Structure 1
Amino acid sequence: MNYTWNWGVLWQSTGIGTEVYWQWLLVGFGWLLVVGFSAWVIALVVGSVLGVMRTLPNKMANTIGATYVNIFRNIPLLVQLFFWFYVFPTLMPVALKDWWFSLSFNATAVISASIGLGLFTAARITEQVRTGIESLPKGQANAGYALGFTTAQNYRYVLLPQAFRVILPPMSSELTNCFKNASVASLVGVAELISQTKTISEYTQNNFEIYTFTTIIYLLFNLALIFGMNTLEKKIRIKGQIGGAV
């Protein structure tokens, strides 16, 4: 096997103006950030709301939360992305459908991928929020009610601030998983990091080098996320909880 090593491939010209291949990777990383952060915001909001619903003394709210988790957690992510990209737009009202198809292909792909990944991740966040709330001593909620808090105030000022501190470690894993799963967005046409890596690999045939660079980018980015979350965990931990000093 005669393989020509070329570790400087990213600095080679793409043949399009003055562009070089590292710029393509940079663009792909940018779209990865867009999809990942958008999906994370959706997951955090939807997951928090449904997690609270799963702990309310209301059978309907519990059923809605449990149904959501059972549906979105048990359907493969790729199937969900295909649904939001290929199927859901055809079910839109005419006016909304006309607007949707007036957008660029990449824009619709990014929006679809963000929604699909966000709702998929929200199912996991829901269970973490529920577990965090249920892990708190019952006296916390009772004390809030004794002070005259409504249920909404009790969750806002007493339960959720403590629950999020408790579930921060597993939430860190979900954050990194959200960005790693964003690579699936390439299958619905998003020009993110994996998509750009494949393109460069096909153009240059330097597969080993290109995928090595991409692996390093993912590794460094996820390590930075973990470091940030660990730092946040140390700053907000409560004494006697999640490893806090007594």
Structure 2
Amino acid sequence: MSRPLPPRGLLARLRAPDFPWWLVALAGLGLGAGGWIASQAGLRQTIAILAGGLVTTLEVTALGFAGALALGFLIALAGRARLRWLRNLARLYVEIVRGVPVLVLLFWIAFAGVPAAVAGWNGLTAPLREAGLLPELLVRDVSLLMRGVLALVVAYSAFIAEIVRAGLESVPPGQREAASALGLSRLQRLRLVVLPQAIRTVLPPLGNDLVSMVKDSSLVSVLGVADITQMGKVYASGSFRFFETYSVTAFLYLLLTVPLSLAARALERRLRR
């Protein structure tokens, strides 16, 4: 005897134990906040001013995540290399970077690492500069925005390296052995067999890291970079409208992070199927 199909009406969906009531509440709060902002002339002015830092926030996030993804992938491969010194070097990098707060790392790279790198570059290229082939590089030539991006790249590359390493190790050893038996080289095994299977494992946590980077991009405001947070700090200190300014700041970040979080959840459910 066949089992009856579950009801598919709207009421049945609302009664389902996994119905996302939290999403309904979040949408209601978002609509309420949007209506409150639209109804107040002062808030409309605030959001217009803070929106000027939206492009900078997106730029910092995009550059930082792309760089961290590339560097983290290389570190993960180094951590699985045949050379023992390379594996230990990758492990050392991950442990040091993960043990330092992002804000401290940001200050160190901006005010210690970049000046040291500029001095080292000038020392290495001294003969070329004396011959007039290269100009002297100054610390001020490296913008504060790029220093902030570099700090985010270094900080997040360590976490992404661990995610990629776990994804690579999740592929059963029999897959590599079968690929090796077919005569594939090490690079072909990685590209054709391991990576396609590891991607399904690493994509959801990488989506979460992207959401985290959107939020941590606000740290570049301590360097004076004109992102959303910095624009909010400047406007609030001049207008003394702290409640309205930081409420709008939080609203703008939620507009960026919530859709990314929902996309990450949807991708995770799709990969599970």
Give me the whole-angstrom Cα distance separating, in 2, the residues matched to 1:63 and 1:172: 28
Give the conservation status (yes or no) of the 8 Å contact 1:100–1:108: no
Question: How far is the alpha carbon of 1:229 from its aligned partner?
Answer: 3.2
Residue 167 of structure 1 aligns to a residue whose secondary structure is helix
**Per-residue deviation at 1:27?**
1.9
State yes or no: 1:49 paired with 2:74: yes
Q: How far, CA to CA, are the matches of 1:97 and 1:23 in structure 2?
A: 41
Counterpart residue type for residue 104 of structure 2: V
Look up the equivalent residue of 1:46 and give its one-letter code: L
User: Which residue, 69, 72, 95 being the options, matches 2:94?
Assistant: 69
Deviation at 1:164, TM superposition (A): 1.8
Rg larger in 1 or in 2? 2
Following the alignment from structure 1 to structure 2, what is the Cα–Cα distance between the partners of residues 76 and 101?
Answer: 24
Corresponding residue for residue 29 of structure 2:
none
Distance 1:100 1:33, change over 3 A: farther
Q: In the alignment, which residue of structure 2 is the partner of 1:183?
A: 218
Note if contact 2:168-2:194 (Cα within 8 Å) is conserved in structure 1: yes
CA distance in 1 between partners of 2:216 and 2:140 (Å): 28
Check conservation: 1:9, 1:206, Cα contact below 8 A.
no
Distance 1:132 1:57 in 2: 18
Equivalent pairs counted in the alignment come to 223
Deviation at 1:196, TM superposition (A): 0.5
* CA deviation after TM superposition for structure 1 residue 23, in Å: 3.7
> Which of the numbers 166, 181, 205 marks the counterpart of 2:240?
205
Q: Who is 2:179 aligned against?
A: 144
Runs of 4+ in structure 1 over 6 Å off? none
Q: Quick check: 1:172–1:229 contact (8 Å CA) kept in 2?
A: yes
- State the TM-score, normalizing by the size of structure 1: 0.82
Distance in 2 of aligned mates of 1:101 and 1:54: 33
Contact 1:32-1:179 within 8 A present in 2 as well: yes
CA, structure 1 residues 99+11, in 2 after alignment: closer, same or farther (shift >3 Å)? farther
**1:195 matched to 2:226:** no
Aligned to 1:165: 200
Identity of aligned residues (%): 29
Structure 2 CA distance, aligned partners of 1:67 and 1:97? 35
Any idea what the Cα deviations from partners look like across 1:78-129, whole Å, max 9, x if unmatched?
12111221112322123799444454xxx61110000111110000000111
Q: Is the contact between residue 85 and residue 108 of structure 1 (CA under 8 Å) also seen in structure 2?
A: no
Structure-to-structure mapping, 1:73-112, within 5 angstroms: 73-91=98-116, 92=118, 93-94=121-122, 98-101=136-139, 103=141, 108-112=143-147
CA RMSD of aligned residues (A): 2.3
Secondary structure at the aligned position of 1:57 is classed as: coil
**Is the 2:214–2:256 contact (alpha carbons within 8 Å) kept by the matching residues of 1?**
no
Aligned to 1:8: 41
Question: Corresponding residue for 2:157?
Answer: 122
Alpha-carbon distance in structure 2 between the residues aligned to 1:90 and 1:30: 27
Task: Show the counterpart of 1:17.
Answer: none
Q: TM-score, normalised by structure 2?
A: 0.75
Structure 1: gaps spanning 5 or more residues: 13-20, 238-242
**Which shifted more, 55-64 or 133-142?**
55-64
1:22 paired residue number: 47
2:83 paired with 1:58? yes
Q: Give the C-alpha shift of residue 228 in structure 1.
A: 3.1
Q: What corresponds to 1:18 in structure 2?
A: none
Contact 1:32 1:192 in 2 (8 A): yes
**SS where residue 171 of structure 2 aligns?**
coil
CA apart distance, 1:232: 4.3
Aligned ranges for residues 213-224 of structure 1 at < 5 Å?
213-224=248-259
Q: Structure 1's 97 and 86: CA in aligned 2 closer, same or farther, altered over 3 A?
A: farther
Indicate the residue corresponding to 2:34 in structure 1.
none
Moved more, 115-124 or 146-155: 146-155
Q: 1:156 to 1:97 in 2, by over 3 A?
A: farther
